[in-house]
Amino acid sequence: MKIESLCLYHLRMPLVAPFETSFGVELDRECILIQLRSAGLTAYGECVASHDPGYNYETTSTALHIIRDFIAPLILHEDVVNAADFQSRVSGIRGHHLAKAGIEMALWDLLGKSSGKSLREMLGGERRRVEVGVSVGLQESPAVLVKTVRNYIDAGYARIKIKIKPGRDVLDASAVRAAFPDMRLQVDANSAFTLDTAQALKPLDDLDLLLIEQPLFEDDIWDHRKLQQQFRTPICLDESIVSPRHARYALEMQACRVINIKAGRLGGLSQALQVHDLCRSQAIPVWCGGMLETGVGRASNLALASLPGFTLPGDISASNRYYMQDVTAESFTLNADSTIDVPSAPGLGVTVDEKALRKYTLSTAVLA
């Protein structure tokens, strides 16, 4: 498909509630929406970089720079045939996976729209609806956390993830476990502990958690191996798995027993597929992580999570858990069985609401 133009929308969308993690509080969420045009078709992708380099080193500013100055010249007015072709074109750009993945997503949307196939079909997804959970940020106190979790359970979520950080870990998780003895529960530290300070997490092993997500440094697979040897609960890696190679390293080192797959962090859906296939061949469960996506990124996550290896519920909540108003005309709702329907229209299967897009756009860059 010959890429005729590339338009970047830097968005800032107010969240329905502040989202606090071990690396900070977000009151609103920034991202970049990418629009590609080719042969009369308009396609979209979402770059999940946020304002601050707290989750990883990328930000909306670095992603705009990398896309504008390095990725765009490699694809504009070029015939990009598929995701593998795109990856080989950008292989000289080190890192910046969130930037690359946003463009790759738009390319899949374009390819789907031109072939009449949904992203689910193109990726080989099998499920029409996928099991989901909710990721709950740090709250004022364990009591407030329990109340917040209860609201999500009442809304129909059958799997809860709570964020933890040093000093806000065992008490928070124990309070939630005591209030909801049978709930599927997991915790996410976003790299806030060291091998030493993580010793304080030992009591988590008695809370029957599904997993403990990314307790140690974002670039550290080796110490996770040491920690996994000390815990019965599966360690799940998020930040540390930045490529299919890193997934292989982690599995060979037995640094984790579960992997969180985010297409953004891995540099694209094509790379996410490779991690899925590797894990599936070794019976390692995977699940789809989230980055507080708009409806565009959420559609992509749902299609990815429909693949057979995604055996744990994803961090893919209903639109109203994140935003009062989304930039897609479609809004995603939770079914009674804690699932969300996978879009079935060609490409991502969502329509961008131009009016909403304008409302939340901080700046636009047209590259043609």
Q: Which of residues 65-104 bind ligand OSB (CB under 6 A)?
A: none
Q: How many CA atoms lie within 13 A of 288 on its CB side?
A: 31
Q: Check if the beta carbon of residue 258 is closer than 8 Å to that of residue 234.
A: yes
- CB nearer to ligand OSB: pick between 60 and 317: 317
Q: What is the DSSP letter of 310?
A: B
Q: Which of residues 129-158 bind ligand OSB (CB under 6 A)?
A: 135
Minimum separation from the CB atom of position 39 to ligand OSB (A): 33
Q: How many CA atoms lie within 13 A of 237 on its CB side?
A: 34
Residues found in the chain: 368
Question: Does the annotation count 113 as an active-site position?
Answer: no
Regarding 172 and contact with ligand OSB (CB under 6 A), the answer is no
Minimum separation from the CB atom of position 357 to Mg ion (A): 28
Query: Among ligand OSB, Mg ion, none, what binds residue 131 when CB lies within 5 to 8 Å by partner kind?
Result: none
Separation of alpha carbons 171 and 20, rounded Å: 17
Distances (CA, A) of 121 to 81, 102, 360: 18, 20, 31
- CB nearer to ligand OSB: pick between 104 and 239: 239
Tokens at residue 101, please?
Answer: 């993945």
- CB nearer to Mg ion: pick between 96 and 161: 161
Binds ligand OSB by CB under 6 A, chosen from 291, 305, 342, 352: 291
Tokens at residue 286, please?
Answer: 């995977």
Query: Among ligand OSB, Mg ion, none, what binds residue 343 when CB lies within 5 to 8 Å by partner kind?
Result: none
From the list 5-13, 70-78, 283-291, 324-332, the region that binds ligand OSB by CB under 6 A is 283-291
Q: Which of residues 328-357 bind ligand OSB (CB under 6 A)?
A: none
- CB nearer to Mg ion: pick between 188 and 220: 188
Site string for ligand OSB, 301-320 (x = CB under 6 A): --------------x-x---
224 in helix, strand or coil?
A: helix
- The answer for 190, left when phi > 0, alpha when psi is -120 to 50, beta otherwise, is left
Q: Which of residues 19-58 bind ligand OSB (CB under 6 A)?
A: 55
Binds Mg ion by CB under 5 A, chosen from 20, 104, 131, 188: 188
Selected catalytic residue, list 226, 262, 355, 359: 262
Minimum separation from the CB atom of position 236 to Mg ion (A): 8
Separation of alpha carbons 30 and 101, rounded Å: 16
Binds ligand OSB by CB under 6 A, chosen from 244, 290, 295, 347: 290
Q: Which of residues 220-259 bind Mg ion (CB under 5 A)?
A: 238
Contacts of 305 (CB under 8 A, 6+ apart): 125, 127, 130, 132, 287, 288, 314, 316, 342
Question: Does the annotation count 262 as an active-site position?
Answer: yes
Q: Check if the beta carbon of residue 222 is closer than 8 Å to that of residue 197.
A: no
From the list 106-114, 144-152, 175-183, 289-297, the region that binds ligand OSB by CB under 6 A is 289-297
- CB nearer to ligand OSB: pick between 38 and 190: 190
Closest CA to 60 of 10, 7, 8, 6: 10
- CB nearer to ligand OSB: pick between 113 and 168: 168
Tokens at residue 77, please?
Answer: 């007015």
How many other CB atoms are there within 10 angstroms of residue 206's CB atom?
12
- Strand order in 361-367's β-sheet? 41-47, 24-38, 5-21, 361-367
Cα distance from N-terminal residue to C-terminal residue, the chain: 15
Phi and psi torsions of 311, nearest 5°: -100, -5
Size of the site for Mg ion (CB under 5 A): 3
Selected catalytic residue, list 163, 202, 355, 359: 163
Tokens at residue 124, please?
Answer: 């080989």
Minimum separation from the CB atom of position 351 to Mg ion (A): 29
Name the site residues for ligand OSB (rule: CB under 6 A).
55, 135, 188, 190, 238, 289-292, 315, 317
Name the site residues for Mg ion (rule: CB under 5 A).
188, 213, 238
- What positions carry a catalytic annotation? 163, 262
